[in-house]
Structure 1
Amino acid sequence: MLQASPKHPAPDRYQQGLAKLREIDGEAGERVIDSLAGIAPDFARYLIEFPFGDIYSRPGLDLRSREIAVVAALTAMGNAAPQLKVHLQAALNVGVTREEIVEVIMQMAVYAGFPAALNGLAAAREVFAAQELEGASA
């Protein structure tokens, strides 16, 4: 896990972001951060501090609503499958149902086109299948 250093002390927003990341993404979020340690540790710190420490921690929306928005945005982008998969799992973690996820992705066909929605549905199918395998092995 990313550690603070004298060059980059761990301010409150880092700790708040790390706690929020763990709450939303669990191990998947930590794997993303760990994967950046060897190539861009500062970017990993930014990822914890800004999105999770500053934005996700704001009081205006609950985590469920935030993840619905992220799933919609990443689906609409059409080219962010790895990030979409992490946030599909996060959406499930914070109480968004599979049916709601599918509806959000289908809604994006109207605004981002069928290819983006098809890519989103393919990512959802993978995440749902992995969740079923995990459940079967537990």
Structure 2
Amino acid sequence: MDAINEVNEVFKANNIALPIDSQKTVDEGYRLSKGLAIQIEIFGDVITKMRENAPANQRHIQDYLSAFCFGDFYTRNGLDLKTRELLTLCIVSSLGGAEGQVKAHVQGNLNVGNEKETLITAITHCLPYMGFPRTLNALACINEINP
């Protein structure tokens, strides 16, 4: 709450009206379809194939991913797709042990128009926060996907 109160004070001092308008663009009725559409826009037909090849007892995970991560978050206003994808790469890289997802988001970044040098610059900026091992893992993923 302290952080929220501080941010609100900065907003007030800068004449930013509160509450800020919601950035939400989807509702429960179509968040899955909108999320799936964004996933396909970023990653292409690999998403359709991944969903088709998922075992029946695991398909719900694909739906959760599409609806929650992409439907609820990627469809929001406020950031463009290139920025969202770059942030996702940085965050997934910082987790460690998620190299499969890092590689997917490297390709996603390239697909939405972020260049390799942008990815390296962003990961370099994250170095003091995520450490050398995870930074080196992320760089290895970047270099594997885009030598």
Regarding TM over 0.5, the answer is yes
Structure 2 distance, partners of 1:63, 1:82, is 21
TM normalised by structure 1 equals 0.79
Pairing of 1:20-35 with structure 2 (within 5 A): 20-35=38-53
Structure 1 distance, partners of 2:41, 2:141, is 22
2:32 is aligned to 14
1:62 is aligned to 80
Pairing of 1:27-106 with structure 2 (within 5 A): 27-106=45-124
TM normalised by structure 2 equals 0.74
After superposition, the CA RMSD in angstroms is 1.8
Structure 1 distance, partners of 2:72, 2:139, is 30
Letter of the 2:124 partner, please give it. Answer: M
Structure 2 distance, partners of 1:107, 1:35, is 37
Pairing of 1:118-129 with structure 2 (within 5 A): 118-129=136-147
1:112 is aligned to 130
Equivalenced residues, count: 120
Structure 1 residues 36 and 115: CA distance shift in structure 2, 3 A: same
CA contact (8 A) 1:105 1:120 kept: yes
Over residues 35-94 of structure 1, what are the superposed CA-to-partner deviations in whole Å (9 max), with x where a residue is unaligned?
A: 434441111111111111111011111110001101111111121100011111111111
Over residues 88-125 of structure 1, what are the superposed CA-to-partner deviations in whole Å (9 max), with x where a residue is unaligned?
A: 11111111111000111122221111000000011111
Instruction: Identify unmatched segments of 5+ residues in structure 1.
Output: 1-9, 130-138
CA contact (8 A) 1:37 1:44 kept: no
Larger Rg over CA atoms: 2
Specify the SS of the correspondent of 2:146.
helix
Identity rate, percent: 35
Instruction: Identify unmatched segments of 5+ residues in structure 2.
Output: 1-27
